[in-house]
Copies of this chain bind each other. A is one copy, B any other.
């Protein structure tokens, strides 16, 4: 797909980035690794509407999506083995209020997957408040081809 994927650590002591059960791969929450690695600008910490503008949130959210693909590449060897992006769960450091700005942030990941996988990339979605000061994290379920 011609993507430049970030380096994402896969050898965590306590948990797994990907776990396959049948044709489903469940993933764990992943932050915006390109930002963490400081290979790109962006804000890893802070709330949307306070420390981050919606545009900064969208950029950060897309970096999370890219990190998810890096983890899947590591797991599958080839991203072409992905059948569908079944679900994305966007964790947003939120200050509450109207849902509009947060939906725009989450759309950045959704749109990215649709761009790459077409209708198979149009996933179901939840948005959840984050438990810490990390701005955005992403969690996913994907299905793989037989």
B129 touches A129 (CB 8 A): yes
Q: Does A19 contact B (CB under 8 A)?
A: yes
Interface centre among A106, A111, A126 (most CB of B within 10 A): A126
Given contacts A18-B124, A111-B14, A126-B89, contact A132 B84 (CB under 8 A): no
A125 touches B29 (CB 8 A): yes
What CA separation (Å) do A26 and B123 show in the bound complex? 9
**Interface size, A (range):** 35 or more
Given contacts A84-B19, A86-B21, A126-B89, contact A97 B133 (CB under 8 A): yes
> Which B residues are in CB contact (< 8 Å) with A23?
21-22
A residues lining the B interface (CB < 8 Å) = 14-19, 21-24, 26-29, 83-84, 86-89, 91-92, 94, 96-99, 102, 106-107, 110-111, 114, 122-134, 139, 141, 143
Given contacts A87-B26, A89-B126, A125-B29, contact A131 B16 (CB under 8 A): no
> Which B residues are in CB contact (< 8 Å) with A84?
19, 21
* Contact pick for A143, options B21, B107, B122, CB 8 Å: B21
A24 touches B21 (CB 8 A): yes
